[in-house]
Structure 1
Amino acid sequence: MKNSAQSHCPFHASNKRNEEATEFDMFGAEYQHCPASSLQSFREEKPIFFSEKMNYWVVTRYADIREIFRDPVVFSARNVLEKFTPDTPETAEILRSYNYGMNRTLVNEDEPIHMERRRELLDAFEADKLEGLRELTRTLVTQKVDEFIGLGKVDLMATLLWDIPVIVALKFLGVPDDDISVLQQYGVAHKVNTWGRPSPEEQQHVATNVGKFWHYSGDVLERMKRNTDGQSGWMYDMIRKNQTNPRVVTDNYLHSMMMAILVAAHETTATATANAIKHLLSKPKLWQKLHHQPELIPAAVEECLRYAGPIVSWRREATQNVQINGVNIAKGDKLFLVMAAANRDPEQFENPEELDILRDNASEHLSFGYGAHQCLGRNIGRLEMCAFIEELTRRIPDMTLSKQTFTATPNTSFHGPEALWVEWNPEAIKGTETASVFAIGNPDKRTIVRQAKVVAIHTVATDIKEIVLASEDDTLAFPHWTPGAHIELHLPNGLNRKYSLCPSVNTANYSIMVKQEPEGKGGSMWIHQNLKLGDKLPIQGPKNFFPLQSHAQPVLLIAGGIGITPMLSMAEQLTRENKAFRLLYCGRTRDSMVQNHQLKKYEQNIELFISSEGKRLNLDAELKTSPPGTPIYTCGPEGLIHEIQVLAERYHHILSSELFTSQSNTLNPEKEHAFDVELVDTGKTYHVPRDKTLLEVMLDNNVDVPNDCAEGLCGSCEVIVLGGGEINHRDHVLSVKERQSNKRMMTCCSRASGKITIKL
């Protein structure tokens, strides 16, 4: 037990918050009811805290958890399967009687053997190798739904979701049909044994089932070993590798992985689907939307995994003294990573408490983990979830949730209902339409768009138009957004352009301002010359790479030209919160600067610098006289931002900046160099040709890489560089020191002079 844990923590929360942190219990009612909401205030005030009651550091922010997942050496996975409730002597004796010896699996072993084994297992999980499971899953789902569709009311967990994932998993493994019914009953026992808090009496019952699970799966494995000729399935592949490479694929490893895959593939998929259906039915318009537009189902699956994933937390152990986001973690300390809280982090996901099936970055959720330990079976889970939801929305569009009290098995890491009662009118069921078929894997985010309609166009300055957009979809209103957010327009001329959102008179609408740029690529020119009232445009977002944080000190806003657009929403928010701020707005001529009702509201806070009138902003003098630590937000031309960056560092200010556009992702194949990249997470080497980016190559090979702007502006696609050639950095994210270290790169734009080794 730690005695000085709180002394490590630099966050000055209230005494009450400190007491709550010290006594935090993952088995408490609030966490068990909803892990994400129970940690919301901690994430905001004390994102890394030590629970003396549980003897764990609890980590809640997205960026922190992703960094921990990225480093499996410093943050070992050895404690993932460590029991929260130690065995009693009686329980230990029961397990010994079954020769229980589950040891290391992919989820809880360290490097270098973890990656060596993982490489032996990867190929069978690639998207193109899973096509055989598609028809099996579809057939099983259709048969089950046929059995109950005339009833009008069922528990979906009992009649559909609980059985099929384990059957699919066992078929994937190659387990004989006769053994399927026996093995599928043991998954819950393993979950409670590892992540639960059973009473001494319950422990004995659980241990008995775990022992039976181990013993029977061992018998099945031995029978499979004796008859491998002509047999197919993942376990048969591993048995053959056990014979040719027994050092890496050991006998115990085969046995342990059989149990681990059954639990992972069964429990998580069933729970993930139950969570998804529960939340989609809680908003009937979403269920109807998927009935009419089934092509949105893969995106809805990713959003449901973000909003209410089945695995809410995972664990790590520090192998050395380390600091995470200013918090000192000692060697041997245990960390409890709450992905459910991270998946609702507003610094990563705009409007995170809303279930938004058109959120185009939902697949950046951490429900599958990240990096070297990312879930191998994630595409099997996606395939099954899509099949369940497609069949039900297509055949039972009027399905509703029955009145019920949801219960779950108490544990720390898995979350979902034990039962899911739904009902519908069986007399309204009609003939089935042709089932939709989805690509296996992460959905293409470029296809996840909202339909918008132009409802107003105003000229607000020379060559600047305000475009007001309304949702074209009556069932899905535009989501809320925060200051600094933007949307991306998909224009008919094939160009996509991002524009900051501005305050709108009608808060249900989105307002943007577009400056005509004759020297640009044609996006703004098309808008100025062709866009008219009533036109419809696909848009993506909102997303926010430039968020306004909460500050105690007065805030300084600096805008150059059209860079005023994000500042308008920031000024409005600061005014609403009665926070002190100054807005310095620079432009060439008065006519070229936005002069509308919004700016007039902040006249006392604004100072204009118009070069044609002889008034220029002296940035050095301004930042030199500002109190150290002044929060500065700036948007404008690259030259302006660069100058402010230099001065902010010199005078010790806190700077956030955003560029209009970037040419970072513009490739000239005649001048580029091809290069090779070894990705340690897969053990494979990929060739990046002259006419493609590293990001494009990885996405083409079904590597789940978070990505967003594709212009080197947001930092989403950053990877760790472990060695090799020099990086040609073309992003606007990394600092000078970070570039010189050659340890990170943005895959959407930067390139390498020779072969490099990276990890996600």
Structure 2
Amino acid sequence: MTNSSAVASLWLRSQLQAGRAATWLLSELGDLVVQLEHPRWRDDPYPLYEQIRQRGPLYRGLSGTWATSSFAVCNQVLRDRRFGVQRVDGRAQGGLLGAPVPAPPEGFVELDPPDHTRLRRLAMPAFNPKRLEAYRPRVQSIVDSLLAKVAGRESLDLVRDLGTPLPITVISDLLGIPDAERGAFAEFGEVVIEGFNGVSSMRQAREVTAVTEHLVALFDRLLRERAVEPGDDVISTLAAAVGEERMTARELHGTAMLLLVAGFETTVNLIGNGMRALLEHPEQWARLRAEPELAAAAVEEALRYDSPVQSTSRVAHTEIELAGQTIKPGQTVVAILAGGNRDAQAYERPEQFDITRSAGPEHLAFASGIHYCLGARLARIEGEIVFRTLAERMPSLRLVGRPERRDTSAIRGLRTLPVTVAQRGQ
């Protein structure tokens, strides 16, 4: 190890230790914002969101960070251009307490205008609604192929056997990732996503760094190849933009990494969380089996009821009056999207899972404002096809064993969802 590497390692280790100590102390003193990342709330964070809501529309923790689980205030924060995703000095945000995280190339979701606007516009053609609707047969074909592999089995894991390989295949197709490179993408996505909360160990820091370096090398190679032989894929489109000097190679790396990870994590968690909710509410699963055309509505209710992205944060770039409080420049507001999605001021019976729900505003699962999820339509299509196909072909699905949850808080999903499959006539 070089002297500079040793110093960096010691610095990171000291920061991790200091961060853990500060988190523990603030949590013990009752800071509800810090508790958002505490493992004890990982299985069911919704009571904590309600505690924060009971403190008022905007709550400030001892750490100085603000938080809201009010639907109206979350929506206001997400839409207000005076808030940004970057700090006032232009740096990316860390964890709630500024926990150090390895710095991969930034995607546009981590940038403010004008860079956010420029890069998002370059990626948008690949996610044109008309183009995505035309992709439905391909998604159905992938689902059919995955279910054919488990045909005749009495048990399967809906996350590992279906929820994970489907979005990896779909987003890899759209990006133009070679088949030979896709095998480890589920593991890569898991490592990167678990780093979103801030690294908790030197091992995790090394894993995130290694995965980032691997993906950057892959995207750099594809950039060079597509510059010579472009195809009908996203990386070819971005490579053309690099050639025309509308984006840099590093910006391509960050955009491609963002689309790969976001295209994977949103959909796999939608499928896992949604199917768990359906199977834990037998009357709703029975309703979907009887009326498979409710699959699109079931997707929306699954997203509202147990959102894949639980929270996001914004930094005030100027002094802002919000919900009767003054937010100073540089202060952070955590918008608890999942809390807003269960706000009784926005939804009737918010704690009830109901796939026939028709009243209420559009949920915040895909955020709002200029950072509204670019891949929202794609995730909806994949979820709808999965829910409908399972209701039609595996109507006797039942949960068995205990699902394993992922070790993240801001991103909520399952590693496993074991089910039994009773064949027709049994």
Scaled by the length of structure 1, the TM-score of the pair is 0.50
Measured against aligned partners, the alpha-carbon deviations of 1:346-380 in whole angstroms (never above 9, x if no partner) come to 11111101011111146610000111110111000
How many residue pairs get matched? 395
Q: Say yes or no: does 1:261 pair with 2:272.
A: no
Instruction: Report the Cα distance in structure 2 between the residues aligned to 1:152 and 1:362, rounded to whole angstroms.
Output: 39
Q: Say yes or no: does 1:36 pair with 2:46.
A: yes
2:326 corresponds in structure 1 to 328
Measured against aligned partners, the alpha-carbon deviations of 1:451-492 in whole angstroms (never above 9, x if no partner) come to xxxxxxxxxxxxxxxxxxxxxxxxxxxxxxxxxxxxxxxxxx
Please list, as runs of the form range in 1=range in 2, the aligned pairs for 1:146-161 lying within 5 A after superposition. 146-161=148-163
Secondary structure of the residue that 2:93 maps to in structure 1? coil
1:168 corresponds in structure 2 to 170
Instruction: Report the Cα distance in structure 2 between the residues aligned to 1:165 and 1:363, rounded to whole angstroms.
Output: 27
TM-aligned CA distance change 1:260 to 1:362, over 3 Å: farther
Secondary structure of the residue that 2:274 maps to in structure 1? helix
RMSD between superposed Cα atoms in Å: 2.4
2:11 corresponds in structure 1 to none
Could you tell me how far 1:146 is from its partner in structure 2?
Answer: 1.5
Give the conservation status (yes or no) of the 8 Å contact 1:275–1:417: yes
Could you tell me how far 1:154 is from its partner in structure 2?
Answer: 1.0
TM-aligned CA distance change 1:399 to 1:23, over 3 Å: closer
Please list, as runs of the form range in 1=range in 2, the aligned pairs for 1:374-385 lying within 5 A after superposition. 374-385=372-383
Instruction: Report the Cα distance in structure 1 between the residues aligned to 2:216 and 2:41, rounded to whole angstroms.
Output: 31
Give the aligned residue type for 1:260.
L
Q: Which runs of 5+ in 2 are unaligned?
A: 1-26
Instruction: Report the Cα distance in structure 1 between the residues aligned to 2:178 and 2:229, rounded to whole angstroms.
Output: 11
Q: Whose Rg is larger?
A: 1
Q: Say yes or no: does 1:67 pair with 2:76.
A: yes
- Of the three residues 380, 385, 397, the one matched with 1:387 is 385
2:93 corresponds in structure 1 to 82
TM-aligned CA distance change 1:182 to 1:427, over 3 Å: same
TM-aligned CA distance change 1:275 to 1:383, over 3 Å: same
Instruction: Report the Cα distance in structure 1 between the residues aligned to 2:51 and 2:99, rounded to whole angstroms.
Output: 31
2:309 corresponds in structure 1 to 311
Could you tell me how far 1:184 is from its partner in structure 2?
Answer: 4.3
Please list, as runs of the form range in 1=range in 2, the aligned pairs for 1:123-522 lying within 5 A after superposition. 123-228=125-230, 231-244=231-244, 246=245, 248-361=246-359, 364-404=362-402, 406-426=403-423, 428=425
TM-aligned CA distance change 1:125 to 1:201, over 3 Å: closer
Secondary structure of the residue that 1:379 maps to in structure 2? helix
Instruction: Report the Cα distance in structure 2 between the residues aligned to 1:269 and 1:218, rounded to whole angstroms.
Output: 26
TM-aligned CA distance change 1:114 to 1:211, over 3 Å: same
TM-aligned CA distance change 1:107 to 1:408, over 3 Å: same
2:110 corresponds in structure 1 to 108
Instruction: Report the Cα distance in structure 2 between the residues aligned to 1:309 and 1:424, rounded to whole angstroms.
Output: 26
Could you tell me how far 1:187 is from its partner in structure 2?
Answer: 0.9
Give the conservation status (yes or no) of the 8 Å contact 2:189–2:265: yes
2:122 corresponds in structure 1 to 120
TM-aligned CA distance change 1:363 to 1:258, over 3 Å: farther
Q: Larger helix proportion, structure 1 or 2?
A: 2
Measured against aligned partners, the alpha-carbon deviations of 1:305-360 in whole angstroms (never above 9, x if no partner) come to 00011000111111011121011111001121110000001111111010111111
Could you tell me how far 1:413 is from its partner in structure 2?
Answer: 1.2
TM-aligned CA distance change 1:87 to 1:344, over 3 Å: closer
Q: Larger strand proportion, structure 1 or 2?
A: 1
Instruction: Report the Cα distance in structure 1 between the residues aligned to 2:344 and 2:28, rounded to whole angstroms.
Output: 23
Give the conservation status (yes or no) of the 8 Å contact 1:197–1:411: no
Secondary structure of the residue that 2:196 maps to in structure 1? helix
Instruction: Report the Cα distance in structure 2 between the residues aligned to 1:296 and 1:226, rounded to whole angstroms.
Output: 46
Instruction: Report the Cα distance in structure 2 between the residues aligned to 1:355 and 1:235, rounded to whole angstroms.
Output: 39
Secondary structure of the residue that 2:30 maps to in structure 1? helix
Could you tell me how far 1:197 is from its partner in structure 2?
Answer: 4.0
Give the conservation status (yes or no) of the 8 Å contact 2:167–2:268: yes
Give the conservation status (yes or no) of the 8 Å contact 1:81–1:194: no
Give the aligned residue type for 1:236.
S
Instruction: Report the Cα distance in structure 2 between the residues aligned to 1:184 and 1:418, rounded to whole angstroms.
Output: 11
Tell me which stretches of 4 or more aligned residues in structure 1 moved more than 6 Å: none
Secondary structure of the residue that 1:415 maps to in structure 2? coil
Q: Which runs of 5+ in 1 are unaligned?
A: 1-16, 93-99, 430-760
Instruction: Report the Cα distance in structure 1 between the residues aligned to 2:357 and 2:53, rounded to whole angstroms.
Output: 22
Instruction: Report the Cα distance in structure 2 between the residues aligned to 1:238 and 1:361, rounded to whole angstroms.
Output: 40
TM-aligned CA distance change 1:227 to 1:182, over 3 Å: farther
Give the conservation status (yes or no) of the 8 Å contact 1:77–1:110: yes
Of the two structures, which has the highest relative contact order with CA contacts closer than 8 Å and spacing of 6 or more? 2
Give the aligned residue type for 1:71.
D
Measured against aligned partners, the alpha-carbon deviations of 1:697-749 in whole angstroms (never above 9, x if no partner) come to xxxxxxxxxxxxxxxxxxxxxxxxxxxxxxxxxxxxxxxxxxxxxxxxxxxxx
Could you tell me how far 1:30 is from its partner in structure 2?
Answer: 4.1
TM-aligned CA distance change 1:188 to 1:83, over 3 Å: farther
Give the conservation status (yes or no) of the 8 Å contact 1:303–1:362: no
Instruction: Report the Cα distance in structure 2 between the residues aligned to 1:140 and 1:239, rounded to whole angstroms.
Output: 27
Scaled by the length of structure 2, the TM-score of the pair is 0.86
Could you tell me how far 1:395 is from its partner in structure 2?
Answer: 0.5
Give the aligned residue type for 1:34.
D
